[in-house]
Amino acid sequence: MKAALKLFRVSLPASWLAPRTALPVAVLIILGLVPIYTAVTGDAFMLTLFGRIVILSIAALSLNLIMGYGGMASFGHAAYLGIGGYAVGILWKEGIASGFVQWPVAIAVSALFALAVGALSLRTRGVYFIMITLAFAQMVYYVAQGLDRYGGDDGLTIGSRSRFAGIVDIGNATQLYYFCFALLLASLFLISRLVNSRFGLVIQGTRSNERRMRAIGFSTFRYKLVCFVIAGALCGLSGALLANHTNFISPSMMFWTRSGDLMVMVILGGLGTLFGPVLGAVTYLLLEEALSRVTEYPGLFLGPTLLLVAIFLHGGIQSLFGAPRRD
C-alpha cells in the first residue's frame, strides 16, 4: 500500500496508515458492495437508502471543509443542495436534459451564490455568522416556494435523469450509485490534497488563530471566501446528484432544518477529520432509518441522542473509536 502510494507521489499524513483507518476503509468497502447486495437479494430499497447516504456524504464533506477545517460554521449549507437540484430540475423542465449542461450550471450557480453570501457574511463571526448564513439559505427557500412554474411549494417531479450522451446511463440505478460513489471517493481524495496544500494550511491556520494569521501577513478574508465558494460548489454538485436520485426537487430540500441535518452529520462524525463527515452521514441516516422502523416516533430518541452527543462527546463519534481529539 505504501509502495503504491509512493508510486503515485502521493504523500499522506502518517496518521493515514494507522490502525484507526480500518474503520473508514471498512465503511467504504461496505458502501461499495451495496449494489451487489441489492443484485443478489433484490432489495432495491437498500440501494436507494445508501445512494442517499453517499450523496449526502459528499454534501457533509463540503460542509466539513468550511466548518471543520475552516472554522466557519455555516447553517445555510442546504441552500446549495437546493440550488444544485433546482438547476437540474429547471433545465430539464426547459428542455435541457444533458448532464453536461445541467451539472456545470448547478456547480456554477452554487459557486456564485456562495460568493455573494460569503462576501456579505464572512465579515461576521461566531453566532452572527451562523444566523446570517441560516437566513440567506432560508431566503433561497422562499424564492423556490415562489417559483410556481417549477412546482412552488409542491415541488417538481423530474421526468428523466441527466443524460451523458451514452457515456454512463444514470437512469440505471446501479450505474447512478457507482457514479455517486466514484464522486465520493474523488471528493475524499481531492479534499485530502486540499487541506494539506498551502491553501489548506491557511484555512486551518485561520480557524486556529485568525488574528495571528493576519499578523504574519495573510489576507484571511480572501482565503475564507475562496474556501466558502469551493464548499458551495461541491455541495451544489451533491444537490444535482440528489435531484437525479429522487427524480424530484422541492423547496424542502433547503429548509433550514436540512442544514441542521448536515451540521449534525459533520459534528457527529468528528469536525475537521477527513473521513468524519462520511461516518457522520452514515450514522445519522442509518440511525434515522432504524429508528423509524422500530418506532412511530423516531424523533423522541434521535433528538435526545443528539443532545447527549453535544453534551458528552467532544469529537464526535470518532472519539468513541479512539481517534485523537482535534481540540
Partner 1 sequence: MLYFIEQCLNGVQLGMLLFLLAAGLTLIFGIMDLVNLAHGSLYMLGAYFAATFAAATDSFVLGALLALAATAVCGMVLEVIAIRPLYRRSHLDHVLGTFGLLLFFNELVRLIWGPAGMTLSLPSAMLSAVQIIPGVYYPLYRLVIILVALAVAALLYLLVMRTRLGMLIRAGASNREMVGALGVNIKLLYTLVFGLGATLAGFAGLMQAPILTVQIGMGENILILAFVVIIIGGIGSIRGAFVAAIVVGLIDTLGRAFLPDVLRSMLSTNAALTLAPAISSMSIYMLMAAVLVFRPEGLFPAASR
Partner 2 sequence: MTEPLLQVAGLSKRFGGVVAADAIALDIPAGECHAIIGPNGAGKTTLIGLLAGEPAPERGSIRFDGRDITALPVHSRSQLGLARSFQITSLFTDFTALDNVALAVQAHAGHSFRFWRDARGEAALRLPAREALDRVGLAARADTRVDRLSHGEQRQLEIAMALATQPRLLLLDEPMAGLGSDESARIVAMLRQLKGSLTMVLVEHDMETVFALADRITVLVYGRVIASGEPAAVRADAAVREAYLGEQDARQDLHHG
| DSSP 8-state code for residue 27 | H
Note whether 226 binds partner 2 by CB under 8 A.
yes
**Alpha helix locations (H) across the chain?**
2-7, 22-41, 44-64, 78-93, 99-121, 126-145, 173-196, 198-215, 220-246, 256-269, 276-294, 299-312
Residue tagged 460554521 (cell numbers):
73
Contact by Cβ (8 Å): 77, 63: yes
Q: Total binding residues for partner 1 by CB under 8 A?
A: 49
Site for partner 2 in 308-327 (CB under 8 A): 326-327
CA atoms of 105 and 89, how far apart (whole Å): 11
Note whether 148 binds partner 1 by CB under 8 A.
yes
Site for partner 2 in 237-296 (CB under 8 A): none
The angle that helices 44-64 and 173-196 make with each other, rounded to 10 degrees, is 20
- Residue 310 binding result from partner 1, partner 2, none, given CB thresholds of 5 to 8 Å by partner type: partner 1
Helix, coil or strand: residue 322? coil
Site for partner 2 in 141-200 (CB under 8 A): 193-194, 196-200
Stretch that binds partner 1, among 78-86, 176-184, 195-203, 251-259 (CB under 8 A): 251-259
Note whether 114 binds partner 1 by CB under 8 A.
no
Among 185, 260, 287, 289, binds partner 1 (CB under 8 A): 260
Q: Total binding residues for partner 2 by CB under 8 A?
A: 28
Furthest-apart CA atoms within the chain: distance in Å: 60
Residues contributing to the site for partner 1 (CB under 8 A): 67, 73, 75, 120-121, 123-124, 126-128, 130-132, 134-136, 138-139, 142-149, 255-257, 260, 263-264, 267-268, 271, 297-300, 302-307, 309-311, 314
